[in-house]
Structure 1
Amino acid sequence: MTAQENTSTSAPSNQRVIKKYPNRRLYDTATSTYITLAEVKQLVMERENIVVKDAKTGDDLTRSIFMQIILEEEAGGAPMFTEPMLANIIRFYGHTMQGHMGSFIEKNVQMFTDFQGKMAEQGGGVDAWAKMLQMPNPMVSASYTEQMQKMQEQMQKQTEQMMGMFGIKR
């Protein structure tokens, strides 16, 4: 691959471009090497801003690759999503609220991520979740419980508002 090919993508310069070839191989244009799906996952974990492009057509395949990573993680032993949750998500496809459901999930995951970030800051950058689970201090446990309860109440309120738009009451 030439330097010209490396720079001839439509992705912004701050994005790391991964090209997917017809033989299903993934090529990291930043390192000029083929990488595995596990390595793409690691880039995501490291908060790299990546985009996956079809090497032939230039189509954006990022969502497809991310879904493939999630599928492998879900099949790997400790799934994050329950069957009822997945069934409910499927039910929103084609529904008038489909777009709202996506932004609802995104906002709640962002809220959870922000909370996790705050906990990590308070914990000196150490994995705050593991640290808090190991500490017997009742003040820490009370603080953690209170913050988690607030987050749960906010998520429940947002869910009830969204369900209210469907005319569903609990």
Structure 2
Amino acid sequence: MSKSKNAKPDIIIKKYANRRLYDTSTSQYVTLDHLRELVKQDLHFQVIDAKSGEDLTHGVLAQIIFEEESRGANLLPVDFLRQLIGFYGDSLQSVVPGYLQMSMNNFTQQQEEYRTKVGEAMMSPQATMALIEEQTRRNMEAFGKTMRMFTPFVAGAEAHEAAAPAAPKDGEDDLTKMRAELDEMRNKLDQVLKAQK
């Protein structure tokens, strides 16, 4: 969507204990289908618990996705869902939301180009696979660049360590743990890239 995560919502939806949703902008009760249409119209809304004021937007959006999937609009492949579930509790869990957001932002920015290509690809299964592979490659390249921005010291530090091992310093255990986690992330990324080829 075009609005940022921190943008002020246009519409406040109150969710009551009986699970009913109330659109304060129109002063009427609404359904999840209504909220789905708001999303499609790129209208930013926030769902809050009517009693506690807690933000329930994330759960309600996930519920909309679940309903769409249960109706047979299978946008999320089973393997993707399994992989996503596998990241819960994993050391990479904190990286996944940013990666998915970046991928969707890239896809959204290039959607007109993709609509044209998808229209052409419908004529050929090979063209469809080529389009998917191209998008996956772009996503992985962008993710790799992002990871390097957050870890620019690692490559230089590894070269320096190989040249001259030094005595342990204060806090070095933490640095060693961070490097091990980064190595683990790199290995997992390499496995994903190999699996995509």
Q: TM-score under structure 1 normalisation?
A: 0.71
Aligned to 1:151: 135
The equivalent of 1:139 in structure 2 is none
* Pick aligned residue for 2:119 from 124, 128, 133: 133
Q: Which runs of 5+ in 2 are unaligned?
A: 1-5, 148-182
Q: Structure 2 vs 1, CA of residues 21 and 91 (structure 1 numbering), >3 Å: closer, same or farther?
A: same
RMSD: 3.4
2: CA distance between counterparts of 1:135 and 1:83?
23
Question: SS state of the match for residue 95, structure 2?
Answer: helix
**Aligned-partner Cα distance in 1 for 2:26–2:79:** 41
1:167 correspondence with 2:187:
yes
Task: Supply the distance in 1 between the matched residues of 2:132 and 2:51 (Cα, whole angstroms).
Answer: 47
Q: Evaluate the alpha carbon distance shift between residue 56 and residue 90 of structure 1 in structure 2; reply closer, same or farther with a 3 A threshold.
A: same
Tell me the amino acid that sits aligned with residue 165 of structure 1: M
2:64 aligns with 69
C-alpha displacement of 1:149: 6.3
- TM-score between the two structures when normalised by the length of structure 2: 0.62
Q: How many pairs align?
A: 146
Change (3 A) 1:115 1:60: same
CA distance in 1, matches of 2:143, 2:117: 30
SS in 2 for 1:48: coil
CA distance in 2: counterparts of 1:22 and 1:79, whole angstroms = 30
Provide Cα deviations, 1:134-154, integer angstroms capped at 9, x if missing partner.
Answer: 799xxxxx9x99987653421
Q: 1:102 aligns with which of 97, 106, 117?
A: 97
Please say if 1:42 is aligned against 2:37: yes
Closer/same/farther in 2, CA of residues 12 and 154 from structure 1, 3 Å limit = closer
> Counterparts of 1:133 and 1:12 in 2: how far apart (Å)?
34
Q: Which amino acid aligns with 1:129?
A: R
Greater Rg over alpha carbons, structure: 2
